[in-house]
A and B are shown apart, each in its own frame.
Chain A
Amino acid sequence: MALDTLGGEDWFLHLAPALVMIATALALFGVDALDPDSTNHRAVFGVTLAGTLAALGSAIALLFGMGPELGTTLFSDQLVADEASLLFTLIVTSVTSLVVLGSYDYLEDLPDKGEFYSLLLLAATGMVLMAHANSLATVFVALELASLPSYALVSFLTDNRGSVEGGLKYFLIGALSSAVFVYGISLVYAATGSLLLSDVGTAVTEGVDQTGVLGLGVLLMVAGFGFKIASVPFHFWAPDAYEGAPAPISGFVSSASKAAGFLIAFRVFTTAFPLGAMQDAGIDWVFVFGVLAVLTMLLGNLAAATQDEVKRMLAYSSIAHAGYVLIALAALKSGGAHNDWVLAGGMLHLFVYGFMNTGAFLFVALAEHWDVGRKFEDYAGLGEEAPVASAAVTVLLFSLAGLPVGGGFWSKFMLFGGAIQNGFWWFAAIGLAASALSLFYYWRLIRALWIDEPTDGGHELDGTPTGLYVAVLVAALVTVGLLVGVGPVAEVAFDAAGNLVG
């Protein structure tokens, strides 16, 4: 059968971002295989960046109606192309572009640059496919495609104990969680007889005989997601992995991978497990997510506040932000009038967070490039020595805390406001308290940058890491720009959320 009939009309246009990235990855492999020793870093970097930017551009073009009509399914309903998939493709490709930009300087003295970029592209492709996945089978395959290269990337610094240890933890726990997840899928399949999300949804609505089996399956899937998005209590791999990984990869895994994981959760739980029917059957997944959200917000922020090292603080802050986004699932209400608002808030937060968090980790990459040190006090005085990058990261940190200097304010407002409108005011209250606490630990870094005196006479900042500089600046500019220009993105998020819960 020709691919055209199998894939559906214009399938290659719908999947253009993923196809561009996978083609770039394969091309890099080819070059690297032919001549592994004489890798020209500049050329490899250029090709990779061109590939990710092309993917980013095609995602934007598709989103603004320059491609085929959205809302269609491809490959016999296995994949779906809608606003949500494109919004998250946009997140993943933007983050990947920033990370590639930042990696050029970071990789300068490291071997195997070609592998690094192709693994990055393959992982990103997997994440884009996660955004398109429409059946439990493709969900799982895409998840694995995204995860396997990520394990390798986290442990890329083979001479560094932290990197290898983090990678190993990430791999072992990731493999375990995949197993748990796939077991959950098999139980759901046993109870409903289908893997397609919409068919599972229909079966659930019509009534399932073995609600116990279905319930166990859903619970196992929640646990699987919990691992992927690093929610408390399934988070313990995350601080080590994020801290040990090369800083650009920490940004990549904690932004892009988290966003893609969340979209799968949004899609699976709203489409396959319709809230009303599930609650009738006694399986209240909203409650489970509510518990996870509260635990994650509280523990993530409290742990972040007690860290001494900047990267580990950012790792825990990344966990805390997963908690905020979990409100998007936890504050849904069967028949609630503001479900689209809550869900759109979650999507918007992941979008803004992609820039804020990647930018912050890339600043850490910049500091690692300069051998500044790991602790807060090591960063003292950087504000004077590198004012532009420090100003950029200051904006990013304030925005992470939810102050209205960047788009983070809007997304938090939509999350908390939507939760209040749906009657879950306590999520908003806990979220606000948690945000106030987060200001404290973000402020520690800002204080170190601008106010504290350097302990040993300042740093020697050598080299001009242009790529890292540009990446941090772009992230900050987009974050600030989203304060004013969040409108179009919010509109897409509302459309996307409306499709899922409308």
Chain B
Amino acid sequence: MIIEALLAVTLLGGIAVLLAPDRLAGKLAFGISLGPLLGSLWMFWQFDGSGNLMFDSAAKSFESSLSGTTLLSMGPWDVQWLAAVDGISLPLVVLSTILTTLAIVSAWTPIDERQSQFYALVLFMEAALIGVFTALDFFVWFVFWEGVLVPMVLLIGVWGGPRRKYAAIKFLVYTNVASAVLFVGFLGLLAGLDGTITSFALPEISQAIHAGELQGVGPFSPEELATVSFFAMFAGFAVKVPIVPVHTWLPDAHVEAPTPVSVLLAGVLLKMGTYALLRFNFTMLPEVAMANAELIAAIAVISILYGAMLALAQRDLKRIVAYSSVSSMGYVILGLVAFTVYGVGGATFQMLSHGLISGLLFMTVGVIYNTTHTRMVGDMSGLADRMPVASWVFVAGAFGYMGLPLMSGFAAELFVFIGAFGAEGLQYSPIFTALGMFGIVIVAGYLLSAMQKSLFGPFRLETDYEIGRAPFHDVAPLFVLLGLIVLLGVAPDVVFDMVESATQPIVDAAAENGGGA
């Protein structure tokens, strides 16, 4: 019942916040968000499952008696309530609850109008995020998937910067077209399984495909159908990740979104795309992924390098962090397509690590902006002198991004590179890995140069604002995140053990179906 309870608390809490007066909304939302936070931490503490729930029904942890309730009968098929977690999804649930609580706290300073609506939308989005990472019935999952989108559009559109209307409609159109494409791709798979499945449960569908029960539909043979569906879903999820060339909504959305929303967007929403790629494309159709491994790896490497180079060309701190996300998510794709335990596990680990680090950097930029009212690198220098805490946290986060040992970024990238380097199913894997590694050099380039220009040197600020002390509740979330980043860097096993046990079956299935590693 714990998953259902988390969803209910968050959702009802959102309604309560919506009805609360503005001056209480922020504190109340924080209090309510502690519910799912503590609940998910309890789940993490109690978790003793192993295996991947897509392959092994025994791997479904925290599945309640409500699971299997039929919500809707559609002819031969049932839509059911199915919710459970395994070693891949549980860390992402925890990531969502942690970042939501911190984002709420970091919103206390910058958000000063329509507060109850703002915090209510954040809580609604948290509920939908928990749903995305726990729901195992395709339609319920899709409802949550789109349910994340609606609050996000409004959060950008109402509380965003000067070009918020453009950013909001661009985000809405991009992600919605993507949803339609992936929906059709998945319907194709369903049509190919007509008669063999009785529900839309993702594990059942995945197992049916692995049992070779996919039939041809219309003009398509089973193999062609699998390929078409794979790429339709890949395209749909790629927008969310985002992968070059469908990344152009991201900088606009990030720059216009208020900082707490950017934190959630980069920290959790992007992970929805990679999580879905892992659960759908790489778990259900590994043979298609392996047959096109070089193509996908090339896309990943292009994302890494191109995203990093775009970041290099920016002057706005927020844009720099935004573009660097494109680059970082490329590592996730590279790790996934390697189909080795370290590759897939490292990709999952990178999702968590990037969620924490990018959240930290966005929050730090937010703290700097709250005080200086500028984000332009050229408008300031020597901030470390006046804002030592925020500056040093930014430096620490940046080093995490660059992969400083003992921080989570190092562990994540190391896993991905080890995994990708030894990928037997991927031709030229050393070349792809080496090219990907070069991305880190560029990352170091733009982060170091941005830091040097804005944080160090003689103090200079080209706005009319006095620099004051940032309030405690602005700074506290930074240290929480920094602590988690170091924790994952020092002891990656805290998470990696469960991730590894959940990714092993994917690698095995790929080896069986694709004949690779």
Contacts and interface: CB of A to CB of B under 8 A. Distances in A.
A207 to B, nearest CB: 33
Nearest to A401: B176
B146 A451 contact: no
Given A423-B218, A487-B73, A491-B73, A447 B157 contact: yes
Contacts of B75: 338, 340-341, 494
B117 A387 contact: yes
B168 A451 contact: yes
A485 to B, nearest CB: 8
A417 interface: yes
Contacts of A387: 117
A447 to B, nearest CB: 6
A404 B169 contact: no
B180 A490 contact: no
Contacts of A370: none
A112 interface: no
A404 B165 contact: no
B143 A439 contact: no
B164 interface: yes
A443 B177 contact: no
Given A403-B146, A450-B157, A487 B191 contact: no
A108 B143 CA distance: 41
Nearest to B142: A404
A379 interface: no
A443 B73 contact: no
Contact of A439 (B117, B147, B154, B176): B176
Contacts of A409: 143
A421 B194 contact: yes
A308 to B, nearest CB: 17
Interface in B175-201: 176-177, 180, 184, 187, 191, 194
B72 interface: yes
Nearest to A439: B176
Given A425-B218, A450-B157, A436 B70 contact: no
A403 to B, nearest CB: 5
Nearest to B113: A384
B114 interface: yes
B172 interface: yes
Interface string B149-169: 110001001100000110011
B444 to A, nearest CB: 39
A310 interface: no
B71 interface: yes
Given A398-B150, A432-B180, A447 B165 contact: yes
Contacts of B150: 398, 403, 405
B80 to A, nearest CB: 11
A423 B146 CA distance: 27
A172 interface: no
Contacts of B149: 403
A436 B154 contact: no
A117 interface: no
A338 B169 CA distance: 37
A410 interface: yes
Contacts of B146: 403-405
Nearest to A404: B143
A420 B187 contact: yes
Contacts of A423: 218
A398 B147 CA distance: 11
Interface in B88-128: 114, 117
A484 interface: yes
A474 interface: no
B211 interface: no
A432 B181 CA distance: 9
A490 B149 CA distance: 26
A443 B218 contact: no
B70 A487 contact: yes
A16 interface: no
A451 B164 contact: yes
Interface in A390-428: 398, 403-405, 409-410, 413-414, 417, 420-421, 423, 425, 428
A417 B184 CA distance: 9
A443 B164 contact: no
A421 B117 contact: no
Contacts of A450: 154, 157-158
B157 A404 contact: no
A490 B74 contact: yes
B131 to A, nearest CB: 11
Interface in A439-462: 439-440, 443, 447, 450-452
A439 to B, nearest CB: 6
B274 to A, nearest CB: 22
A305 interface: no
A384 B114 contact: yes
B172 A443 contact: yes
A404 B158 contact: no
A421 B157 contact: no
Interface string A91-125: 00000000000000000000000000000000000
Contacts of B74: 341, 414, 417, 490
Contacts of A439: 172-173, 176
Contacts of B191: 420-421
Contacts of B177: 436
Contacts of B173: 436, 439-440
Contacts of A295: none
A216 interface: no
B167 to A, nearest CB: 11
A83 B146 CA distance: 33
A261 B150 CA distance: 34
B187 A443 contact: no
Contacts of A451: 157-158, 164-165, 168
Contacts of B180: 432, 435-436
A423 to B, nearest CB: 7
Residue of B71, B142, B164 ringed by the most chain A CB atoms within 10 A: B71
Interface in B261-310: none
Interface in B344-396: none
Nearest to B164: A451
Nearest to A410: B72
A27 interface: no
A443 B72 contact: no
A436 B175 CA distance: 11
B122 to A, nearest CB: 15
A105 B158 CA distance: 31
A170 B150 CA distance: 38
A486 interface: yes
Interface in A446-502: 447, 450-452, 483-484, 486-487, 490-491, 494
Nearest to A451: B157
Nearest to B143: A404
Nearest to B184: A432
Contacts of A341: 74-75
Nearest to A416: B187
Contacts of A443: 169, 172
Contacts of A487: 70-73
6 closest cross-chain pairs (CB), A and B: A404-B143, A487-B72, A451-B157, A404-B146, A341-B75, A432-B180
27 contacts: A340-B75, A341-B75, A384-B114, A403-B149, A403-B176, A404-B142, A405-B146, A405-B147, A417-B74, A420-B187, A425-B218, A432-B180, A435-B180, A436-B177, A436-B180, A439-B173, A439-B176, A440-B169, A440-B173, A443-B172, A447-B168, A447-B169, A451-B157, A451-B168, A483-B143, A487-B71, A494-B73
Given A403-B149, A423-B218, 4 more contacts: A341-B75, A404-B143, A450-B157, A452-B165
